[in-house]
Amino acid sequence: MILADRLLTDCHVAAMTEGGAPYGAIEDAAILIQGGRIAWVGPRADLPVHKAVETDRLSGRWVTPGLIDCHTHLVFGGDRSGEFERRLEGATYEEIARGGGGIVSSVKATREASEDALYDSACKRLEGLKATGVTTVEIKSGYGLDHDSELKMLSVARRIGREAGVRVRTSYLGLHAVPPEHKGDRAAYVDKAVDQILPAAHAEGLVDAVDAYCEPIAFTTDEVARLFDKAEALGLPVKLHADQLSDGGGAALAARYHALSADHIEHTTEPGVQAMAEAGVVGVLLPGAFLMLRETKAPPVALLRQHGVRMAVATDCNPGTSPVASMTAALNLACVQFRLTPEEAIAGATRHAARALGLQDEVGTIEPGKAADLAVWDISRPAELCYWLGAPLLDRRYLAGQAAS
């Protein structure tokens, strides 16, 4: 007999496991949860002898793994709606950045904001993600760009993970932009970001992974390699903003360091894709930024498929280039703009997103032993998660087997 804390029944399950039925679908299914983990999942007719403390009858709804937003900049001060207006008037992202706007404009607002203010504003944005089925969120630093502000951002991210009803993985993004006070001496800032801020954040237990922005308007491959060498020495995995605006060898650099993921990758060419495939690097597609920047060069999806690179999908929620706070919107955009199939897109927000965070053994599929992080949907088939744009589809979420608000 299985002793369970909770039984979910009268439902259909999209387990998102590889192989077998599309979406890993189990019609007329049941799920047993014990100790925050999946104890059993399968057809309701095969339900083993059990005793459950609570039973939730889901009236024929679909259950998926809780969605995973594996690339966000959720914590920041202020907003950049003025830059949005400027881009609509014809200014490019590069022009705005080189003129002192872009990331640097968010740095001032973030430095000035208190931890409580950053927490409160981030939680407002988080509500949009939770309302679209998200149970795990990656949150980057990178709008502080000094010791105290970077650690402040990462501390807020940890607090969100403790208090706001989601799992959180943090990424130190010290090489995001050169702060204004180092404009004339970028080498000094790289030294500080690599040799001082990262070790301090790691010593306080604030860092799960290390990220960087590798572009001509940001940091070179040599500068990023220095950061990644430090991360490696500290035992931290890496990920990379790669090849978003140009093919600067970012994907190959990510592969060289066996990064968890290379993100954006619109301009990655076949050698970079091959290197990602050989190193097991996940390609994270960010259709919100593609939309907001009105880009025309889409990521090389056909090459990623051809070489067997796993594709994740994320919101890239940030104040400048992707003010997107809806995971289902990101799924829709991934299908419409990048021509992913709905099954590819949902896999990209579940099992592949889990791998992009190093959490593939914990979340991302509905299998015995995995955490019972689940989303329950008012839909008739899984593809509806990618079909509707803005419709309220979520019925409820479970985090570690407990109903989550």
Q: Taking phi first (over 0 means left), then psi (-120 to 50 degrees means alpha), and beta for anything else, what does residue 402 get?
A: beta
Q: Are residues 395 and 278 in the same domain?
A: no
CB 352: neighbour CB atoms within 10 A?
26
What Rg, from alpha-carbon coordinates, does the chain have? 21
C-beta separation of 81 from 321 below 8 A: no
In 280-326, alpha helices (H):
287-292, 301-307
Bridge partners (DSSP) of residue 210 are 172, 238
* Residue 358 counted as an annotated binding residue: no
Q: Tell me the three state secondary structure of residue 65.
A: strand
Interatomic CA distance for residues 391 and 377, integer angstroms: 11
C-beta separation of 119 from 156 below 8 A: yes
Q: Are residues 321 and 188 in the same domain?
A: yes
* Residue 182 counted as an annotated binding residue: no
Question: Which residues make Cβ contacts (< 8 Å) with residue 344, sequence separation at least 6?
Answer: 311
Q: Are residues 200 and 264 in the same domain?
A: yes
Interatomic CA distance for residues 177 and 81, integer angstroms: 20
Q: Are residues 80 and 152 in the same domain?
A: yes
Q: Are residues 36 and 163 in the same domain?
A: no
C-beta separation of 377 from 133 below 8 A: yes
Number of domains forming the structure of the chain: 2
Q: Which domain holds residue 268?
A: 67-356
Q: Are residues 245 and 123 in the same domain?
A: yes
The predicted-structure confidence for 272-319, as pLDDT tens digits, reads as follows 999 999 999 999 999 999 999 889 999 999 999 999 999 999 999 999
User: Which residues of the chain are modeled with pLDDT < 50?
Assistant: none
Interatomic CA distance for residues 48 and 41, integer angstroms: 10
Q: Are residues 9 and 149 in the same domain?
A: no
DSSP 371: B
Q: Are residues 206 and 263 in the same domain?
A: yes
* Residue 244 counted as an annotated binding residue: yes
* Residue 267 counted as an annotated binding residue: no
Q: What is the model's pLDDT at position 349? A: 99
> Residue 124 maps to which CATH number?
3.20.20.140
* Residue 283 counted as an annotated binding residue: no
Kindly give the pairing relationship between strand 37-43 and strand 25-34. antiparallel
* Residue 316 counted as an annotated binding residue: yes
Angle CA 153–156–162, to nearest 5:
150
* Residue 320 counted as an annotated binding residue: yes
Q: What is the pTM of this model?
A: 0.97
Nearest to 234 by CA among 255, 266, 206: 206
Q: What is the model's pLDDT at position 299? A: 98
Sheet containing 402-404: order of strands: 37-43, 25-34, 2-14, 50-65, 374-377, 394-399, 402-404
* Residue 71 counted as an annotated binding residue: yes
Q: What is the model's pLDDT at position 87? A: 79
Nearest to 311 by CA among 271, 350, 365, 275: 350
* Residue 258 counted as an annotated binding residue: no
* Residue 143 counted as an annotated binding residue: yes
DSSP 282: E
Interatomic CA distance for residues 391 and 389, integer angstroms: 6
Q: Are residues 91 and 80 in the same domain?
A: yes
Q: Are residues 161 and 116 in the same domain?
A: yes
* Residue 378 counted as an annotated binding residue: no
The pair of structure tokens assigned to 326 is: 């809806």
Q: Are residues 33 and 81 in the same domain?
A: no
Q: Are residues 38 and 99 in the same domain?
A: no
